Amino acid sequence: HFFIFSDDIDWCKNNFNFLFNKTIVDHNHKGFKFSNYLYLMMCCKHFIIPNSSFGWWAAWLSKNTRKIIIAPKIWFKGHAENLTLDLIPSNWVRL
């Protein structure tokens, strides 16, 4: 099952319509909901994250010792890949 966390629900509905086993989670980060949202993300088994510090922290803080994390090879647009060598742990997949 895929859990898709986003602040653009309409885009996700239009672009992930090929996934039948999915739940799209709205990102309303106001007040206490912020920690609930982060906690939900942290509970996932595996992660495909964008170049987002929020997604990065959810993946990093996840207690799943067997998690697979896929992160962008280029984190900052227009910058060399090696600028993020200390940002993306070596056991994460860079794609």
Residues 12-68 have pLDDT tens digits of 999 999 999 999 888 765 566 777 888 999 999 999 999 988 899 999 999 999 999
| Both tokens assigned to 76 | 């900052």
Q: Looking at the 3D structure of the chain, how many domains does it have?
A: 1
- Is the pLDDT score of 77 beyond 90? no
- Is the pLDDT score of 83 beyond 90? no
- Is the pLDDT score of 79 beyond 60? yes
Tell me which residue range forms the domain holding 84: 2-94
| Both tokens assigned to 53 | 């510090």
User: From CA 88, how far away is CA 26, in angstroms rounded?
Assistant: 26
Residue with tokens 């996932």: 44
pLDDT at 30: 57
pTM metric for this prediction: 0.82
List, edge to edge, every strand of the sheet that includes 93-94. 47-48, 69-71, 93-94
